């Protein structure tokens, strides 16, 4: 409700309009107080049919409403557990593959999925990930322990005859440069295009 900017009355109106139900504001109030103690006992969950309607409206699983999963769906929970990725990362990938604005264009959906599949299944992906890990570790040290970062940079620059600030920039650029070079190589490997000679040969063959 908070994410959608809905008040209790707003939710009632939306549910009744979409599902032709006859809920009242007091129903929403009771749902929101599930588990609370009253003079007559503990407020229980709504009927299962009602929870199905609420879950469908908010595009979540019933398990999210009952607290069985902290993510919006069990599929998301399983995906996060299997990959080790954060929910925000999994959702970002899913959102991009589904295309901007929720476009129903199946071809675009397939192309987007194929793009990521080609990159992640490349035999050079592990090499790129290792380079990215080095950059991440360097960034994380700087963020959490600036003194240690300075010490590491100092030790790397100790054998250089260049000024410290220039040496520092060269070292940082080298880390990012190695990752960029590997990424470029991965893209060429995963998504090959013809060389100038091959392209010219194909043009000649067509002629």
Q: Average pLDDT over the chain, rounded to whole?
A: 88
Compute the average pLDDT of residues 49-61.
93
Residue with tokens 């090959």: 192
User: For the chain, what percent of residues have pLDDT higher than 90?
Assistant: 49
Q: What confidence tens digit (pLDDT) does each residue in 66-125 have?
A: 888 888 888 899 999 999 999 999 989 988 888 655 555 667 888 888 999 999 999 999
The whole-number pLDDT of residue 27 equals: 94
12 pLDDT above the threshold of 90: yes
Q: What is the pTM of this model?
A: 0.64
Stronger pLDDT, 183 or 167, i.e. the higher one: 183
Query: Which pLDDT band holds residue 171 (cuts at 50, 70, 90)?
Result: confident
Helices (H), 59-161: 62-66, 74-83, 87-97, 106-120, 125-144, 146-157
Range 12-41 average pLDDT: 93
Separation CA 35–CA 46 (nearest Å): 11
The confidence score (pLDDT) of residue 132 equals 93
Q: What tokens were used for 117?
A: 């599949």
Sort 20 into a burial class: Cβ within 10 Å, 0-12 / 13-18 / 19+: exposed
């Amino acid at each position: 409700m908070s994410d959608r900017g809905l008040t209790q009355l707003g939710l009632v109106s939306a549910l009744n309009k979409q599902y032709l139900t006859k809920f009242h504001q007091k129903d929403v109030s009771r749902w929101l107080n599930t588990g609370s103690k009253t003079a007559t006992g503990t407020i229980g969950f709504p009927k299962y049919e009602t929870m199905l309607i609420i879950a469908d409206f908010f595009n979540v699983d019933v398990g999210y409403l009952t607290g069985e999963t902290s993510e919006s769906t069990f599929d998301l929970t399983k995906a996060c557990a299997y990959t080790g990725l954060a929910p925000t990362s999994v959702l970002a990938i899913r959102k991009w593959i589904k295309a901007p604005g929720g476009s129903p264009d199946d071809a675009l959906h397939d192309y987007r999925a194929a793009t990521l599949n080609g990159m992640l299944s490349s035999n050079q992906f592990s090499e790129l990930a290792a380079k990215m890990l080095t950059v991440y570790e360097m960034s994380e040290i700087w963020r959490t322990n600036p003194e240690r970062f300075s010490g590491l940079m100092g030790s790397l620059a100790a054998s250089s005859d260049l000024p410290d600030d220039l040496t520092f920039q060269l070292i940082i650029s080298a880390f990012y440069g190695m990752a960029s070079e590997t990424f470029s190589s991965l893209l060429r490997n995963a998504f090959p295009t013809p060389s100038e000679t091959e392209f010219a040969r194909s043009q000649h063959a067509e002629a």
